[in-house]
Amino acid sequence: MPVSVFDLFKVGIGPSSSHTVGPMRISLAFVRALITQRLLEATASIEVHLYGSLALTGRGHATDRAVVLGLMGFEPDTLDAKQADLAQSQLAQTNNLLLAGQHAISFSSVTQIVFHRDKTLPEHPNGMRLVARDSSGNSTLDKTSFSVGGGFVVTAEQMASPAMEDSLTWPYPYKSARELMDMCSASGQTIAAVALANEEAMRTHADVIAGLDKLHLTMRACMNRGLTTEGVLPGGLDVRRRAQSMHSALLARVPGQGPLRELDWVNAFAVAVNEENAAGGQVVTAPTNGAAGVVPAVMRYHSQFCGGVNPEAHRTFLLTAAAVGSLYKENASISGAEVGCQGEVGVAASMAAAGLAAVLGGSVEQIENAAEIAMEHHLGMTCDPVGGLVQIPCIERNAMGAVKAINAAHLALAGDGRHVISLDRVIETMRQTGADMSHKYKETSLGGLAVSIVAC
């Protein structure tokens, strides 16, 4: 079944949807289960176990911070960064954690969050187990869950017995690009209109529009903060923020000057978002945090250089991009820990290419072609973040992905939509390529750039 635009694009915090947003949601769900099962008051201690990629790159991705904030009752989409920092520093000083903001327990992030770097759970590379104990040390609640990319979370029970077909009646229940295109053809609708009709099966038209506009504004606000903030990113690599100086230089440039001036702007847009993400700021997953810069950068490219600021275009862009992202989520993966960066920046570029082709007036076939081209040229891209941080290569990679997305849309619009490799084939190829890749290149920081820097 298609994935909602509001599940693919979610407001969250950096630096990672799978390693920050997902774990925060898992620990928040755990404390909520303690409350609903009337176990909160009897809870004397909590232990947290992280497995696989969560253990290997969790420190750099701030997984421990996210887990603690979730236990305290913070939600990724409404989190106040100042309040969160205050709660964290109090915990560090006192070792007292207020579960769900209500019930105090003794808790040390150092000893009670265990990074099992040598163990991966068989179900998924991003495993997490939480255990609550009473004052006698007896386990009262023990839950294992998985952060499967893009902030999506699945419990071990759900993993063991995959959900039955969605009971919701979707007007357009497409499962593949071919089915989506056929539905567009039969109904005479665009991809964005099909996606909108599906959203309206769940919420009112006014709510869908308000939700899309909020996503766009949050993306813009994140980018604007990145374009105006200087400094060094946290984590110890001493990566200096560049977007602010790139932006200042562009503003000082004589209009029309520079052979690649539009691309210079796109680079600044994408870098700005991903620097905010690396700094732990508020971002919109698109479809993940690590790849959060591609879609907003291409949207702003369109409004600044092609179409002007136009709410209708932003909505069309987001709906079309989400329809394409949904195909990857359902038929392959959007998790770097499962399929490498082709599943994050590659998917983001494919989504952005489709969105741009749509707002530039492309046919359904040209939009499908744009999405296919963008992924075809990301196949095999590894995930090897240096120091386990979402900085190198992630920040620049978003700029590269945005530029590829723009080129893919323009290439597709130069043709008539006919092409040899279909989007469905390239999605399946991406899935197989990801399955064939060594786990060294799947968000473990055990290979590639992550180890090259040590050898230099």
H-helix or E-strand spanning residue 99: strand 96-99
Pick between residue 347 and residue 413 the one whose CB is nearest to ligand SF4. 347
Q: How far is the CB of 63 from ligand SF4 (least distance, A)?
A: 13
Using CA atoms of 255, 259, 263, 269 in order, give the dihedral in degrees to the nearest 10: -40
Contact 125, 435 (CB under 8 A): no
Task: Count Cα atoms within 13 angstroms, Cβ side, for 212.
Answer: 26
129 DSSP 8-state letter: E
Site string for ligand SF4, 272-311 (x = CB under 6 A): ------------------xx--------------------
Residues contacting ligand SF4: total by CB under 6 A: 13
- Asked if 50 contacts 70 with a C-beta cutoff of 8 angstroms, the reply is no
Q: Which of 48, 383, 402, 430 binds ligand SF4 (CB under 6 A)?
A: 383
Spatial separation of the C-alpha atoms in residues 61 and 56, rounded to whole Å: 10
Dist. CA 88–CA 93, nearest whole Å: 9
Question: How near is the Cβ of 159 to ligand SF4 at its closest, in Å?
Answer: 22
CA distance 323 to 196: 10
Pick the stretch among 98-106, 165-173, 386-394, 428-436 that binds ligand SF4 (CB under 6 A).
386-394
d(CA 9, CA 284): 6
Nearer to ligand SF4, 181 or 341 (CB): 341
Q: Which is nearer to ligand SF4, 320 or 335 (CB)?
A: 335
- Smallest separation, CB 277 to ligand SF4 (Å): 9
Return the range that interacts with ligand SF4 (CB under 6 A); candidates 75-83, 166-174, 324-332, 341-349. Answer: 341-349
CB of 246 to ligand SF4, least distance (A): 19
Pick one of 296, 385, 387, 434: the residue that binds ligand SF4 (CB under 6 A). Answer: 385
What part of residues 343-372 is at the interface with ligand SF4 (CB under 6 A)? 344-345
Which CB sits closer to ligand SF4, 323 or 395? 395
Q: How far is the CB of 373 from ligand SF4 (least distance, A)?
A: 20
Q: C-beta of 397: minimal distance to ligand SF4 in Å?
A: 6
Q: In the beta sheet, which residues pair with residue 149?
A: 152
Distance CA(328)–CA(266), nearest Å, equals 24
- Going by their DSSP bridges, the two strands 113-116 and 126-133 should be labelled as unpaired
Closer by beta carbon to ligand SF4, 287 or else 362:
287
Asked if 52 interacts with ligand SF4 (CB under 6 A), we say no
CB nearer to ligand SF4: give 40 or 392: 392
Q: Which is nearer to ligand SF4, 63 or 112 (CB)?
A: 63
Name the residue nearer to ligand SF4 (CB basis): 394 or 413: 394
Question: Quick one: which of 355, 347, 344 has its CA closest to 426?
Answer: 347
Residue selected from 393, 427, 430, 433 as contacting ligand SF4 according to rule CB under 6 A:
393
End-to-end CA distance of the chain: 47
Strand partners, 152: 149
The answer to whether residues 175 and 330 touch, using CB atoms and an 8 Å cutoff, is yes
CA distance 10 to 222: 13
- Which of 424, 193, 203 lies closest to 330 in space, CA to CA? 424
Phi, psi of 146 (to 5 degrees): -135, 135
Site pattern 424..453 for ligand SF4 (x: CB under 6 A):
-------------------x----------
Contacts to ligand SF4 by CB under 6 A: 290-291, 336, 341, 344-345, 383, 385, 390, 393-394, 397, 443
